[in-house]
A and B are shown apart, each in its own frame.
Chain A
Amino acid sequence: MGGTSPCASCKLLRRRCAKDCIFAPYFPSDDPQKFAIVHKVFGASNVGKMLQELPAHQRADAVSSLVYEANARVRDPVYGCVGAISFLQNQVSELQMQLAVAQAEILCIQMQHEPAEPVAVTQNPELDDSNPHHQRQQPYYLQNEQYLNFASSSNVIQDSLQRESFFGHDMVS
């Protein structure tokens, strides 16, 4: 008898866990909280529909991102992930201002002490060539292209989840 225990979703929903249960690979029975929180925010039926509409190789990432959003929404019922996005955008904006000030300072130093040389402080090879993802022209939150390459890997989601401490406070500035 292949007596495998029901997955967390079937346990919570009190139903038989079929062999082809769509939730079973992503909601193991040893982590009931994961499904509980997703069910609370999105509902089991909606999650099931979302997973069914995705190819199998993308479902793990989808579940991870749903868990992330559900956690954010439970922590902050009013702003959810949007609060985190707002906070991060402000942080990036502030840092970019500081960077601009620092780069202007370098420019001044170089202009004061190398008047004969062409000014190339913003073309610092250490900063540009070593970082192929760096694009100063686009708004930071629209720099999509270079970050699309991480798709279909759960590393991106794991990295985001590991940085949860950002979202513990000051969700909306």
Chain B
Amino acid sequence: MISGRCAACKSQRRKCPSDCIFSPYFPPNDPQRFACVHRIYGCSNVGKMLQQMPVQMRAQAVDTLYMEARWRIEDPVYGCVKLISQLHQNLNDTESELAKVKALIAFHKLQISQVNELHQPDLDASQSNVEQFQFNYSTQNHYPWFIN
């Protein structure tokens, strides 16, 4: 029945058998899906990939193939690898920022505990000196050597 052909068989202009490996994943109402995948991977390669995996995983595999094919069509040089690279960069940046902030927290806590110990007996009398001390260390760039 010609009208029942999946998008893959329509594109390939062939009969769509009842056990067509593509038909569950490339419905006829979404020809672009197969067109993208076919353009990047080729019909034969996709068929082989699907045959080599369990049936329950094929839908997910086709979805990811379609996503990667679309990325590659949008960016023929880097495809989805550019996004991966950006994510790596983000990860590195966030890790180093987190390390700096944690070091800063440790530094502040140490400063505060040292100041509190020093000024414990005369807290009231020297309160303004403590504030000035903390002001100096938090608003100026007097970070310990291991930060940055």
- Residues in A lying within 8 Å of B, measured CB to CB: 40-43, 45-46, 50, 53-54, 58, 61-62, 64-66, 68-69, 73, 77-85, 88-89, 91-92, 95-96, 98-99, 102-103, 105-106, 109-110, 113-114, 116-117, 124-127, 130-131, 133-134, 140-141, 143-144, 147, 150-152, 156-157, 159-160, 163, 166
Contacts and interface: CB of A to CB of B under 8 A. Distances in A.
Contacts, number: 174
B67 interface: yes
Contacts of B77: 54, 58, 61-62, 65, 151-152
21 contacts: A42-B45, A54-B76, A58-B77, A65-B81, A69-B72, A79-B60, A80-B65, A81-B79, A81-B80, A81-B81, A82-B64, A88-B88, A92-B91, A96-B94, A98-B98, A99-B94, A99-B98, A109-B109, A127-B101, A133-B93, A156-B78
Contact of A141 (B57, B61, B86): B86
A163 B52 CA distance: 28
Interface in B38-90: 39-42, 44-45, 49, 52-53, 57, 60-61, 64-65, 67-68, 72, 76-90
Question: Considering residues A88, A116, A130, A150, which has the most beta carbons from chain B within 10 angstroms of its beta carbon?
Answer: A88
A64 B139 CA distance: 47
Contacts of B143: 126
B15 interface: no
Contacts of A66: 79
Given A91-B91, A141-B87, A77 B100 contact: no
Given A82-B68, A117-B135, A88 B41 contact: no
Contacts of A91: 91
Given A73-B49, A95-B98, 14 more contacts: A43-B45, A54-B76, A62-B77, A79-B61, A81-B68, A92-B90, A99-B101, A110-B138, A114-B131, A116-B131, A140-B94, A141-B86, A141-B90, A159-B88
A106 B134 contact: no
Contacts of A114: 131, 134-135, 138
B3 to A, nearest CB: 30
B141 A126 contact: yes
The 4 A-B residue pairs with the shortest CB-CB distance in the complex, in nearest-first order: A88-B87, A65-B81, A82-B64, A43-B42
Given A69-B68, A92-B90, A160 B84 contact: yes
